[in-house]
């Protein structure tokens, strides 16, 4: 018998490899290997573009202990600080590797094959991916052309689709839409009537000021999620927390992997919670950067819909968004363009930071627009 050689040059394999589960066929994810990004100012992923101030960085590192490297994580100090910061008992809190890991744990705990997960569209792309992983159906309720969610229509869809889980990102992305508190509570109460869990992802808090964190006390169907990635500026460390009814929190712990949050990540999150002024300082810097970008966009003739995250949409018509993004890339800036949602097809999305980042970006934006407009002008004009 001749054993076939492997295409990758490894040792010959005996027999056929076991097949993964059929429902995962065709499901692929972007690589975590991002390529060469250090030569760019990265305004395309809604992470903090600028590094922490050197003083904060060194002070945070000084809080680390040698045992943070060789011992498994002890999250007790982080829970103690979260209890103080939120006013909620530890039984209503769960720490995870970013709010996205906590969403996954919630869906793992609550979604059964054939259940429905309902969310606005477009929204966080992982909702549809996780629904497929857990063999559930993703029900997408589209935003309107004005980038607003029809509240009555959304609630009606909850009542007709009868989902097991409803996921709301507030603020949402890429739309930048934010629901008012009363609207969010109406959705939570509709979920309660239908026996559905309502996930409210507040990853963009405090850039989005509306919060339901305190409402978990008297709404058992509500689970609120927060992240340290955006306002805390530690996307690379992957820390977040969930707040909800004690039964829901127990379910999140039941499906938790051991050591999900690393000791180093927990220590830096503790540093941030001990210094809430860091969150506020970055929020203020982002809003100053937004104001400068909005002023520049208006002078260029661009429209900017309201956005309530650490990013800003800029409608660039008549300039093509992908062409403008390419021109900005030639000048060292990465932005997001190429949205499939029709009302955003003419838009770029710019991650915001303070004036030290946004002012040079505005200059590059003006140069890029001038370049594209000159290229489009008829000869001789």
d(CA 199, CA 184): 11
The H or E element containing residue 57 is helix 54-62
pLDDT digits (tens, 9 = 90+) for 27-40: 877 777 777 888 99
Q: What angle do CA 295, 300, 302 make, to 5 degrees?
A: 80
pLDDT digits (tens, 9 = 90+) for 48-67: 999 999 999 999 999 999 99
Cβ neighbours of residue 315 closer than 8 Å, sequence gap 6 or more: 302, 303, 304, 305, 346, 347
How do the domains of the chain map onto residue ranges? 41-48+278-376, 63-273
pLDDT digits (tens, 9 = 90+) for 292-343: 999 999 999 999 999 999 999 999 999 999 999 999 999 999 999 999 999 9
SS3 178: coil
**41-48+278-376 and 63-273 agree in CATH topology:** no
Q: What is the CA radius of gyration of the chain?
A: 23
Q: How far is CA 275 from the centre of its chain?
A: 23
Residue 11 has what pLDDT?
A: 62
d(CA 244, CA 86): 12
SS3 349: strand
d(CA 109, CA 94): 14
CB 204 within 8 A of CB 171: yes
Residue 380 has what pLDDT?
A: 58
Say which CATH topology domain 41-48+278-376 has.
Answer: 3.90.1150
Say which CATH topology domain 63-273 has.
Answer: 3.40.640
Q: What is the mean pLDDT of residues 352-369?
A: 98
Instruction: Give the predicted TM-score (pTM) of the model.
Output: 0.92
Please give the C-alpha separations between residue 29 and each of 120, 124, 136, 140, 164, in angstroms, as whole numbers: 21, 14, 18, 20, 25
Please give the C-alpha separations between residue 67 and each of 73, 162, 269, 272, in angstroms, as whole numbers: 9, 49, 17, 20
Q: In the chain, pLDDT over 90 holds for what percent of residues?
A: 88
Angle of helix 355-376 relative to helix 321-330, nearest 10 degrees? Answer: 120
185-199: b or e for each residue (b if 16 or more CB lie within 10 Å)? Answer: bbbbebbeebebbbb
Residue 16 has what pLDDT?
A: 79
SS (H, E, C) 59-76: HHHHCCCCHHHHCCCCCH
d(CA 132, CA 360): 42
């Amino acid at each position: 018998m001749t054993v076939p050689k492997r295409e990758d040059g490894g040792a010959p394999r005996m027999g056929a490899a076991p097949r993964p589960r059929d429902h995962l066929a065709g499901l692929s994810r972007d690589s975590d290997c991002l390529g060469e990004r250090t030569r760019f100012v990265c305004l395309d992923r809604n992470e903090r573009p600028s590094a922490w101030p050197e003083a904060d960085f060194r002070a945070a590192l000084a809080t680390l202990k040698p045992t943070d490297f060789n011992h498994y994580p002890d999250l007790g100090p982080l829970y103690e600080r979260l209890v103080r910061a939120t006013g909620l008992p530890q039984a209503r809190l769960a720490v995870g590797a970013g709010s996205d890991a906590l969403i996954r744990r919630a869906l793992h705990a609550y979604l059964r094959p054939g259940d429905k997960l309902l969310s606005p569209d477009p929204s966080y792309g992982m909702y549809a991916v996780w629904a497929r992983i857990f063999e559930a159906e993703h029900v997408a309720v589209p935003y309107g052309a004005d980038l607003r969610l029809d509240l009555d229509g959304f609630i009606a869809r909850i009542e007709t689709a009868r989902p097991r889980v409803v996921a709301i990102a507030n603020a949402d992305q890429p739309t930048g839409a934010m629901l008012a508190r009363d609207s969010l509570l109406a959705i939570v109460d509709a979920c309660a009537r239908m026996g559905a869990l309502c996930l409210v992802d507040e990853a963009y808090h405090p850039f989005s000021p509306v919060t339901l964190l305190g409402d978990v006390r008297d709404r058992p169907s509500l689970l609120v999620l927060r992240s340290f990635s955006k306002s805390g500026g530690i996307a690379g460390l992957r820390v977040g927390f969930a707040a909800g009814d004690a039964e829901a929190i127990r379910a999140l712990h039941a499906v938790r992997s051991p050591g999900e949050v690393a000791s180093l990540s927990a220590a830096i999150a503790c540093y941030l919670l001990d210094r809430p002024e860091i969150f506020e300082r970055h929020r203020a810097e982002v809003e100053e950067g937004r104001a400068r970008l909005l002023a520049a966009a208006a002078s260029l003739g661009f429209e900017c819909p309201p956005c309530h995250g650490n990013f800003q949409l800029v409608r660039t018509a008549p300039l093509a968004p992908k062409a403008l993004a390419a021109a900005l890339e030639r000048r060292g800036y990465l932005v997001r363009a190429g949205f499939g949602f029709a009302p955003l097809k003419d838009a770029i999305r710019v991650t915001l930071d303070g004036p030290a980042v946004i002012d040079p970006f505005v200059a590059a934006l003006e140069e890029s627009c001038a370049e594209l407009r000159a290229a489009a002008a008829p000869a001789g004009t």
